[in-house]
Every structure is written in C-alpha cells, then in structure tokens.
Amino acid sequence: MSESTRPFSRFRAHVDVMPSTDRRAFLAALGTAGTAAIAGCSAFTTSAADVDSHTGLDDDASAHLDGIAVYLAGDTDTLPEPPTTTESLADAEVVLGTTDATRATLVSGFRNGATVALVETSSKDERPSDGVQDAFAAFLEADGTHQYGTETVLGRPVSVAAAVPRGDTASTYVFPDEGGWDDSVLDPVGWVEHGRLPDCRTFVPESSADDDYEYAGDAFIVGRLETGETYASRTRATVRTFEDHERRVRLRTTMHAAANDGYPVADAHRVADFPNDDPMLDQFPNPHERNGVEVHNRTGLVDQRLDVEFRPTNDRARGALTACCGLTTGGDVGYDHETRWTWTDDGFVTSDSHYGGASGRGEWHLDG
C-alpha cells in the first residue's frame, strides 16, 4: 500500500450499515427497475465538480522561480538547477540548500530577507528520516531573531522545509513527500514563493479584542498526491501579552483540499492535542453547515484537545473544500497534531480512498 493510500493509525474508517428493512426495500426497487437501474448507476458515484481552487498546487509551480535569484548552498551538485541563479548571497531572493549547508550561510541569507529552503542530501532509500526537519529546526534556532511556529511531520519523508521572513516573524512550510510533484524540490519552493490558500468557507468568529493580538507567523503543511489530489493547512498564530506578562495565543487553522480531477474530497480532519499545563481556553467553530461544508466538532476542553472534521455536502465542495477551526491557549505553545485529508470514490459496489497529510508536533517560538 502506498503512502498516498494508507490511512493514519489513529483514524479509523466509519462504515454506515443500511438497516435490513431499508435494504430489502432498496433491493426490491432495484429489481423492478431492471436495466433502467443499471443505466442510472452513475448516481452511486460521487463526482467532483470542476473547481479551480486558485492555489497553484496543481500548476507547474517551479515556473514561478523564473526571474527569482536563487543561491545554492551545501552539496550543490545534488540540487536541481533553478531557472535563475545567483552566486551572490547578498542578492539572493531564495537560498536553496542541502541539509549540510552551513548555518551561517542560511542565517545570513534569511536575515537579508531571502526565503530559505532545505532539502535532503541523501536518497530516501538510504535515509527516509527527519534529516530535513532536524536541519531546518537547527537553522531557525541559530537565527534566533524571528517569531515562528513549526508543525513537523513524523514517520514520513519530507521533500522540502522552507521559511519566509516577514519583518520580525517567519512563515514556515513542510512538504511531505507524496510523490505528486513533477520536481520534488523546485515545485514546492516555487509554491512557497507564489502559492496561496482560498478564503475560508465555514464560520470564523470575530472578536472585539482582535486588534489587541499581534501576528506571530504561519505554519504550513502542503502536499500533492501522486494521483493528483492536493492539500494544504495553514496555522496562524496571533499573540496578546497583558501587563502582568500573562500571554494569550490564538491559533487559527485553514484546511484546504482539492480533487484536481482525482477522487472527490471526502473530509478534512484537524486534531491539536495539548498537555495539561497548556490549557485550551476556547475553541471554534460550533457544529454547523455553510457553503456546502459540514462541520463536526468533537473538541474536549477538559481533555485539552481540539478535534474538528469537515465534510463536503455539494459538488463544489467535493471539488475544492476550504474550512477553518481554531483555539486560544496560554503560556508556552506545544501540541501534538494530526492533520489529515481523505478523497473517496464511492462506486456502485466498492469504495476506494486516497489519503494525505501528517501527524507530528506543533511548536511556537514567540519571543524572537
């Protein structure tokens, strides 16, 4: 079973069983319909609408690097050739490095405003480890001048990890290696430079205190399956510090999935599990349906665990779904996340699903 078709261990499929009386009535109706029922069997297949989600995830994303000065660092012989390169670190708009690139080089480019992207130096067959993410974490720690958050991927290979400086904050990106990019390095880096997520189509509450919170960075998880489906999550942190130095942190997550001519979107599922000493103070959204997206919220504030699932209810949302959830917490911010997407083709007799996403650790460094 490939990575793109293997469900995550803590999620289990739910099978709805038709009551016997309904099943007999259904079979009787099918028998009287005869060949007309067979002709109408397409009704049992949930098709995805042809929706352009405008994310750029299904484009040739590497083309977005054309005209962007890329500086190559580390074991440059193992790196692909970007459309535009520079030998001057000071002129670089992107620093593309292997995991053995010197931290001083990466930090210098980053503090100069360049995006920094890291890739593995050895093949996945030799070391499908956390090498990229370990090197990425060490680089961010060595920088020490930006507020940022990361959501790591555990137990799965990562093709690219990247960071974009924005003033005194940074946005971070992790790309699980789903096998769907034409170029597993340049396409993700190109998407970092020009990709976007659609606006949320589910309810997002507003607060009179929103202006009291300051932006503190975004953490992305982004993937493209070998079968063409695409996904992305963005968790955005905002922070409020009170006079007594007590701190409140809001984490708002946007979940996006697109069928991209593949299987229709079936659901998106977000879990953030906090330790008891970092309590969840509130969360959203309440269960509801809006714009073809149904929200199921099983969050437990006592358990300190955000648990929200989104399901499409119309063809447009089965083609491209964007939904949001979030929470407020205090103190240091660390949690275990599970961020999963499912695409399902329901046929007349069988049902088949593709899976994407990751589980891992979310951590936010908010002191700069």
Cβ–Cβ < 8 Å for 122, 139:
no
Distances in Å between the Cα of 80 and the Cα atoms of 186, 195, 320 are 7, 20, 31
In the 8-state DSSP scheme, what is residue 302?
T
Amino acid residing at 317 = A
* Rounded distance between C-alpha atoms, residue 109 and residue 94, angstroms: 8
Angle, vertex CA 225, rays to CA 220 and CA 231, nearest 5 = 35
Rounded Cα distance, 104 and 295, in Å: 46
What is the value of pTM for the model shown?
A: 0.85
pLDDT of residue 344: 95
Q: What pLDDT does 354 receive?
A: 96
Residues (pLDDT < 50) of the chain are: 1-45, 124-129
Task: Return the biggest CA–CA distance within the chain.
Answer: 76
List phi, psi (to 5°) of 194.
-135, 0
- Phi-psi region at 245: left, alpha or beta (left = phi > 0; alpha = psi -120 to 50): left
What sign has the CA pseudo-torsion 35, 40, 45, 47? positive
Tell me if 145 sits within 8 A of 167, measured CB to CB. no
Instruction: Tell me which amino acid residue 43 is.
Output: A
User: 42: which DSSP letter?
Assistant: G
- The pLDDT value given to residue 203: 95
pLDDT for the residue numbered 20 = 39
What is the dihedral sign for C-alpha 21, 24, 29, 30? positive
| Inter-helix orientation angle 103-111/131-143, to 10° | 60
Residue 165 contacts residue 106 (beta carbons within 8 Å): no
Give the residue extent of every domain in the chain. Answer: 50-365
- Of 310, 270, 313, 308, give the one whose Cα is nearest residue 291: 313
Residue 123: CB partners within 8 Å, gap ≥ 6?
Answer: none
Q: If we measure between CA atoms, which residue out of 119, 83, 117, 85 comes closest to residue 99?
A: 119
Assigned token pair, 10: 């803590």
What type of residue sits at position 62?
S
Rounded to whole angstroms, how far apart are CA atoms 174 and 362? 12
d(CA 268, CA 201) in angstroms, rounded, equals 13
- Pairwise CA distance, residues 175 & 23, whole Å: 44
The Cα–Cα gap between 96 and 114 comes to: 10
User: Smallest Cα–Cα separation from 336: which of 359, 303, 358?
Assistant: 359
- Name the pairing type of β-strands 94-98 and 115-119: parallel
